[in-house]
Amino acid sequence: MYPIVQVKNLSVVYDNQLILKDINIEIYPGEIFVIVGGSGCGKSTLLRQIIGLETPTTGEIIINGRNLTKAKDKERNQILKSFGVLFQSSGLIASMTLYENIELPLKAYTKLSEERIKQIVRFKLNLVQLSGYEEYLPSQLSGGMRKRAGIARALALDPQILCFDEPSSGLDPVTSASLDELIINLNRMLGITMIVVTHDLASIMRISHRVIMLDKSAKTIIATGTPTELANRKDNVLVYNFFNRLPG
């Protein structure tokens, strides 16, 4: 199977400070690929590189065989349409209803009729178990519901790759587990590739097909495998301690 995302020899430098070095990743269609590590290790930085919010200092990002790093203008925008993103804060526009939030990308990037847009918005809200909440403002929803609404908007344009930056951030354990179940169900139902940045161990163990662990000191990937494999990596103290909740 050909990878849908390839990161090749990526390094990132901010203000003469090396953040990430020699990152090489292949992510395959339909995979839930999870990026983990301690605070400040570069997890969110790596995600921003992959989705094109930032350009790597060196190295390349290949999406579906197309070079995002070198792409310009129209081609770059075409590649970026492969992604849907749920940011930590859910990213919803506070003054808009859920309907208007999900309608926004459909109006901006398609020429669909109002009726077709209405069908899509309702379908996406149904996917995340928010049917009937079309006219609610984000402030009228719980944190977990806002995250679900953010996922619905991220799915509006049928992306091939859905990205999550700390999806369980700010949620209680029960709500976090419920969000994990939604992620697993959407992955199974839609066959969509998912890239998840998180430090929530319970979530990592529940949802991951494959995991990479970054380390702040090494500034690169120090382990790759299934969550169970990494939890049993007794040859690497940092990895073993992280996955077994032991002090570093």
Divide the 248 residues of the chain into consecutive groups of 10 and give the mean pLDDT of each group. Answer: 96 95 97 94 95 96 97 94 89 95 94 96 97 97 96 96 94 95 97 95 95 96 96 92 81
- What integer pLDDT is reported at residue 19 of this predicted model? 95
| CATH number attached to the domain at 1-82+161-248 | 3.40.50.300
Contact 34, 204 (CB under 8 A): yes
- What integer pLDDT is reported at residue 196 of this predicted model? 98
- What integer pLDDT is reported at residue 131 of this predicted model? 97
Domain locations in the chain? 1-82+161-248, 91-158
- What integer pLDDT is reported at residue 88 of this predicted model? 81
The span from the CA of 179 to the CA of 194, in Å, is 14
Tallying the residues shown for the chain, one arrives at: 248
- What integer pLDDT is reported at residue 90 of this predicted model? 80
- What integer pLDDT is reported at residue 162 of this predicted model? 98
- What integer pLDDT is reported at residue 245 of this predicted model? 83
- What integer pLDDT is reported at residue 203 of this predicted model? 95
- What integer pLDDT is reported at residue 226 of this predicted model? 96
Q: Which of 71, 79, 90 is nearest to 51 (CA)?
A: 79
- What integer pLDDT is reported at residue 100 of this predicted model? 97
- What integer pLDDT is reported at residue 248 of this predicted model? 55
Long-range contacts of 121-128 (CB under 8 A, 24+ apart): 121/156, 124/152, 124/153, 124/155, 124/156, 125/98, 125/149, 125/152, 127/152, 127/155, 127/186, 127/189, 128/152, 128/155, 128/182, 128/186
